[in-house]
Structure 1
Amino acid sequence: MARENTCQFAILGMLCREPMSGYGLRQAIARTVGHFWQESYGNLYPALERMEAEGLAALDREERSPGGRVRKVYRVTAKGRRVLAEWLRRPVVPHVERNELLLKLFFGAQVGPKSSLAHVERSRAEAVGLLAALRLIDEDVRGARKGHPELPYWHLSVRAGLLGLEAHLRWCDEAREALQRLAHTARPTTKEKRDER
């Protein structure tokens, strides 16, 4: 399924929670599903306009922001809820994740282990920060939303993020050890020799 269509379903799901503006949607996505799903402003606003034209979302109200701009707040329609429910029942379309870190490691012999090690170290540091943030989200969701009927579903997605980050950190540690061993035994590449001059 095309990303633009999937964007539509992310928006519908968020609007089922409460009416929101494009800015509010962006913030809600970042706060809730941001560890596994992101949307840019460039996707959100055109999708909202198209969804309004198709009757999936409707203008709920207009609000003035502190800067004086008019902000449109949208709500999901009954048709939008039906379309979302139909999509939620369909099988997940498999996809291959694009992972630049793994692509660079795969071709890492071209530049030697030092560059690859630096990539792994950066990825590990980012994962440590994300894991801390996700743990806070998990605590907030389980504490502040206790008894909410959607909590078990939210918790499943947060849990997948936590376990995925923990696994990534273990992999980073293994990769770091392997690359450090390589750095001690590998001959310098032509580029590394030039850099040392």
Structure 2
Amino acid sequence: MARENTCQFAILGMLCREPMSGYGLRQAIERTVGHFWQESYGNLYPTLERMEGEGLVALDREEHSPGGRVRKVYRVTAEGRRVLAQWLCRPVVPHVERNELLLKLFFGARVGPEASLAHVERSRAEAEALLAALRPIDEDVRRSREGDPELPYLHLSIRAGLLGLEAHLRWCDEAREALQRLAHMKDSKTKEERYER
């Protein structure tokens, strides 16, 4: 069975908040769900056109940019809201993890602990930077949306990201220690072999 195109549901969810152009959708996705949901932006405009043909979205207005380009602004239709609500109530499709870091660590014995340690250190630095970026977003959302009925739902997704990153940092620390021990053992063994010659 073909995998469902979930891009349309991200679009519908965003358009339920306010009418937007394709460019506006792209920016909104990057600022919000883009921290945990990646969309192919090459797929965005064709999906919008298809959804307009299916009656899920409609042209709200056209805006003219200073450069003379016309930007189509879309709004969600009643049918689009119905389809989104239906999808939101369906069970989540199981996610198959594709984690290159773990795949490289799994086969790390082929190259030794140094390469694996470098991968872990890079991953840790990336997670620290993302955590530093996500904490102010969390604070800003809680402050700026106080009393908003969407806040508890937004906060749940942000908390998942924060806790996931914190757990990843703890795992990186454990992995670093284990790989440093392996590197030390390897160095000791190499020195012993030299002395035996």
Q: Under a length normalisation based on structure 2, what TM-score does the superposition of the two structures give?
A: 0.91
Pairwise CA distance, 1:4: 5.7
Pairwise CA distance, 1:67: 3.2
Contact 1:65 1:71 in 2 (8 A): yes
Distance 1:124 1:3, change over 3 A: farther
Pairwise CA distance, 1:94: 0.7
Q: Percent identity?
A: 88
Q: How many residues align?
A: 188
- d(CA) in 1 for partners of 2:49 and 2:30? 21
Aligned pairs for 1:139-178 (under 5 A) are 139-178=139-178
State yes or no: 1:83 paired with 2:83: yes
Q: Which amino acid aligns with 1:120?
A: V
What is residue 104 of structure 2 aligned with on the other side?
104
What is residue 195 of structure 1 aligned with on the other side?
none
What is residue 55 of structure 1 aligned with on the other side?
55
State yes or no: 1:33 paired with 2:18: no
Is the partner of 2:177 in helix, strand or coil?
A: helix
- d(CA) in 2 for partners of 1:122 and 1:66? 42
Pairwise CA distance, 1:41: 1.4
Kindly provide the CA deviation profile for residues 9-49 of structure 1, in whole angstroms up to 9, marking residues without a partner as x.
01100000001111111111111112210112112111111
Q: Which has the larger radius of gyration?
A: 2
Kindly provide the CA deviation profile for residues 153-174 of structure 1, in whole angstroms up to 9, marking residues without a partner as x.
0000000000000000000111
Contact 1:62 1:72 in 2 (8 A): yes
- d(CA) in 1 for partners of 2:96 and 2:142? 31
Moved more, 27-36 or 157-166: 27-36
Pairwise CA distance, 1:91: 0.6
Aligned pairs for 1:15-26 (under 5 A) are 15-26=15-26
Distance 1:109 1:38, change over 3 A: same
Pairwise CA distance, 1:85: 0.2
Cα RMSD (Å)? 1.6
Distance 1:48 1:109, change over 3 A: same
Q: Which runs of 5+ in 2 are unaligned?
A: 188-197
State yes or no: 1:13 paired with 2:13: yes
What is residue 43 of structure 2 aligned with on the other side?
43
